[in-house]
Amino acid sequence: MSPSVPPRLELFASTAPGLESITAGELKALGVKGRQEKGGVAFGGDLDRIYQTNLWLRTAGRVVVRLGRFHASTFYELERRSKKLHWVDFLPATGAVAVRVTCRKSKLYHSDAVAERILSVIARAAPSGLELRVADSQRAGEVDVEQGGDERESNESEDAGRGVTPREEPTQLFIVRIVHDECEISADSSGELLHRRGYRTEVAKAPLRETLAAAMVLASGWRANEPLIDPMCGSGTITIEAALIARAIAPGVNRRFQFMNWPNFDETLWNEIVEQARNSVIDAPVDIRASDRDAGAISAATRNAERAGVSEDVRFATSSLSASIAELGDPANGNGWVLTNPPYGIRVGDQNDLRDLYATLGTSLRNKQGWRIGVLTSDAGLARQMRLPLHSRFDSRNGGIPVRFLVSGKREAGSREVRSEKRDAETHETC
């Protein structure tokens, strides 16, 4: 069987839990109508759509092609039906093929045995010299398939930006999921997870994954003509992602993808899409600031911004939290935004110190005209120390820790919170 340009394909953009609606919004902005599912968004398309979504999606973990689904309660059924799939369209000429399997509530319950059968089928279609292997399910935040869900990005192994060196040879990943004897097989089109933009080779403590930082920016309601600051910026991920969004810089413009190794890869089409993306970059001033009391973190964040191509769009400073907020003036255009990811008290920091930190953040903002805050936190008690009315925009996970993104309403100059039983109850409920 020779490779051919496939017809309309069934595609799926996997996300971290809770980010499905944000990714669906990104797809809509690209002119793609998606269907939200647990763990991501399903949509249809051809090679052009695979290229576009890998290049532009900021909050997805990867884009996969769903090759087929069928009933399989025996190994004979599994092999017979998987032989009918168009494996050859997704096999690199050289490199490796990996198969990751999850089996739940099925007669075929031994994942390694299922993987071996699938690999034997692939071997018949694969070019000679390909390395065939069972994928390590624990490798570097790959795909975590949960019961009742779909391909879901795991945050358990937080390797983002830690100087991870990708494999030199192309490795095509196939994802096999068997639930209640129903088998679904998908081919990864992304390769390295999409949060690996390539700019963040230096990190501070408890780094925030780029996809989650982008989700905070998009979910907050911040607009590019409004000032934004992260006063606890660490390695600068939130502000860098904000600058990329403001400038309309495609997050994947400087990296490679697995689809480039497919036999039907259309290099001319890809170059046209990339050139169009480069020409669409907005050249307009933005007011984005990032500060941290750790001078080493600021140095790393500055270099990360340079690699991302937004060093002129983000102003970095070594400064305390209270001093950074005190310097904020009244925003000229609508709102100003403080978007930040403070320590949670789980991996970094002491609870008493953190209560003071959150209280300082709330107190510093209370009399700032027009400034709103978006904070990612795992502890409702810490969030309440801010004494601000906060409302949840999404729940997700960061480094395996359940987190919630909370956003305040617009505040007027000199306004003060009236602490009442009703307000206390509302704040407690939303946090």
Same structural domain for residues 184 and 300? no
Same structural domain for residues 151 and 75? yes
- 259 assigned to some structural domain: no
Same structural domain for residues 91 and 170? yes
CATH number at residue 145: 3.30.2130.30
Name the domain count of the chain: 2
3-state secondary structure of 140: coil
- 339 assigned to some structural domain: yes
Q: Strand runs (DSSP E) across 240-306, as ranges? A: 288-292
Query: Residue 207 — pLDDT band, cuts 50, 70, 90?
Result: confident
Question: Token digits for 387?
Answer: 């004494």
Same structural domain for residues 179 and 218? no
- 74 assigned to some structural domain: yes
Same structural domain for residues 37 and 175? yes
Same structural domain for residues 328 and 380? yes
19 φ, ψ to 5°? -100, 5
Read off the pLDDT of residues 369-428 as tens digits, 9 standing for 90 and up: 899 999 999 998 999 999 999 999 999 999 889 999 999 987 554 444 433 334 433 433
What pLDDT, on the 0 to 100 scale, is given for residue 157? 36
Q: How many CB atoms lie within 10 A of CB 328?
A: 19
- 416 assigned to some structural domain: yes
- 274 assigned to some structural domain: no
- 173 assigned to some structural domain: yes
Read off the pLDDT of residues 60-83 as tens digits, 9 standing for 90 and up: 999 999 999 999 999 999 999 999
Query: Residue 348 — pLDDT band, cuts 50, 70, 90?
Result: low
Same structural domain for residues 354 and 384? yes
Same structural domain for residues 184 and 219? no
Residue 225 to residue 333: CA distance in whole angstroms: 7
Same structural domain for residues 183 and 311? no
Residue 370 to residue 156: CA distance in whole angstroms: 37
Read off the pLDDT of residues 255-286 as tens digits, 9 standing for 90 and up: 999 999 999 999 999 999 999 999 999 999 99
Question: Token digits for 235?
Answer: 């390695």
Q: Which domain holds residue 295?
A: 210-247+282-430
Residue pair 37/91 in contact (Cβ under 8 Å)? The answer is no
What are the angstrom distances between the C-alpha of 35 and each of 10, 56, 89, 179?
11, 18, 25, 20
Task: List, in sequence order, the alpha helices (H) in 40-82.
Answer: 47-56, 75-82
Is the pLDDT higher at 413 or at 29? Answer: 29
Section 186-213 average pLDDT: 91
- What one-character DSSP code corresponds to residue 428? H
Residue 201 to residue 267: CA distance in whole angstroms: 28
Residue 398 to residue 237: CA distance in whole angstroms: 14
Q: How many CB atoms lie within 10 A of CB 336?
A: 24
- 393 assigned to some structural domain: yes
Residue 132 to residue 10: CA distance in whole angstroms: 25
Query: Residue 3 — pLDDT band, cuts 50, 70, 90?
Result: low
Pairing state between β 131-134 and 143-145? unpaired
Tell me what the pLDDT averaged over the chain comes to: 86
| Percent of the chain surpassing pLDDT 90 | 73
Same structural domain for residues 302 and 421? yes
What pLDDT, on the 0 to 100 scale, is given for residue 78? 97
- 275 assigned to some structural domain: no
58, β-bridge pairs = none
Same structural domain for residues 221 and 359? yes
**Angle in degrees, CA 305, 308, 312, rounded to 5:** 50
Same structural domain for residues 109 and 215? no
Question: Token digits for 422?
Answer: 């009703």
Question: Token digits for 246?
Answer: 């403001």
